Structure 1
């Protein structure tokens, strides 16, 4: 699964140059993005033109009774996304890019606390998760636009940490194909693959990221440094 990620490195100007986010989307450094947060995405309008948009992380299908459903739908499995009622319509017409520069996963260690890892591209460049989005309208007319991140089997770089990883689209061509309304279903499925090993990097980080309330640079502190500091107290 993917339950936390970061967008901490690039400046807003760099992100706007790299992705078609436009000028109206508020961008700020995020070290610990959590479910329920408003996140930077690229969606498309009815004509297929890309547009930047803030969406709440945790997809709420249009038929849901209330928005709390979204906390159960932060991820969609690539293997079943075309079949599940919550995702199959979005896969056809509501695909999006979720902009990030890394994500976190926790490795189980017998007899010890779980160890958080920060996974990135090997070149540490920003990238996009393959996402889906939806619009939910409440009985009083309120409108909520939400998204989910598609996950797939982990590549060999990350497999010992966790058996799943988010779909990190490898570059602009894949991102354009994911957004394009005319991309055939078999091609979409091919895009939902693990990032190649050679393009993937990981680094153990300290315990700060495990607190969902904290969104500061200590989330990216090296694990060794963090453990050394903790031993002083």
Structure 2
């Protein structure tokens, strides 16, 4: 699953040069704790297949949805069933997108089986570089939508690699390089190749680090989310509201 992630890379201009389509007019803010319902930095494509940067609401709202709140149940799409689920199968054909990030969070249950707080981990590329999640987007024009419609997205997940499998059995699809990103966006990429792209990041390219419990509050978005975990935190940890990421229902 992926219920929280970061885009803490401070140099917006570097991101614009790294990801084609992120124009100067797109606001790119430093984010330490991106949560469902937030606007996220993404690269979509026009009808002609040209990349374009935009902000999408995290939590896909299909065009046929009755209520925008359904998006909170669709923050993730499983790679194994994305081509079959009504909410995602049409988007998979021509509404694929890149969701720009530099890490994601996952929570690990306590080894002793106690009910104390789950330990948050920040998971990144081993080289620390920004990357793109494989995503899908949709446009909704239901009651309450802005005049131009609501554009939203979901992050596709796959089985976890062995580097992080002891933390959680799922992970978001982190596209490994620019070639994979280009293929994911390309309207002409055949379906079998799209499925091949929805694979776990190789273990050698993956890094993990235990971080502060500050990230466990979805409303908190500050640098201390990325601070190293401390022994004092574990000694005093107790269960409490907001201690885990949002649920994944797909």
Structure 1 length as normaliser, TM-score? Answer: 0.96
Q: Does 1:136 align with 2:140?
A: yes
Structure 2 length as normaliser, TM-score? Answer: 0.89
Which blocks of at least 5 consecutive residues in structure 2 are unaligned? Answer: 238-250
Q: Could you tell me which of 200, 208, 212 is aligned with 1:202?
A: 208
Determine the structure 1 residue equivalent to 2:5.
Answer: 5
Q: Whose relative contact order is higher, 1 or 2, with alpha carbons under 8 Å and at least 6 apart?
A: 2
Q: Is 1-10 or 100-109 further displaced after alignment?
A: 1-10
CA RMSD of superposed structures (Å)? 1.5
After superposition, the C-alpha distances for 1:99-131 in whole angstroms (9 at most, x for unaligned) are: 000000000112131000000000000000000
Q: Aligned partners of 1:45 and 1:102: how far apart in 2?
A: 27
Residue 23 (structure 1) shift: 1.2
Contact 1:121-1:199 at 8 Å conserved across structures: yes
Higher strand share: 1
Q: Aligned partners of 2:125 and 2:182: how far apart in 1?
A: 19
| Equivalent runs, 1:154-193 vs 2, <5 Å | 154-193=160-199
Q: Is 124-133 or 23-32 further displaced after alignment?
A: 23-32
Q: Could you tell me which of 98, 113, 119 is aligned with 1:115?
A: 119
Contact 1:10-1:126 at 8 Å conserved across structures: no
Q: Aligned partners of 1:213 and 1:141: how far apart in 2?
A: 24
Determine the structure 2 residue equivalent to 1:44.
Answer: 45
Q: Aligned partners of 1:173 and 1:29: how far apart in 2?
A: 26
Residue 66 (structure 1) shift: 1.0
Q: Does 1:215 align with 2:221?
A: yes
Q: Is 139-148 or 98-107 further displaced after alignment?
A: 139-148
- Secondary structure of 1:86's match? coil
Q: Aligned partners of 1:93 and 1:83: how far apart in 2?
A: 15
Contact 1:207-1:226 at 8 Å conserved across structures: no
Alignment length, in residue pairs? Answer: 231
- Secondary structure of 1:85's match? coil
Higher helix share: 1
Determine the structure 1 residue equivalent to 2:241.
Answer: none
Q: Aligned partners of 2:25 and 2:142: how far apart in 1?
A: 25
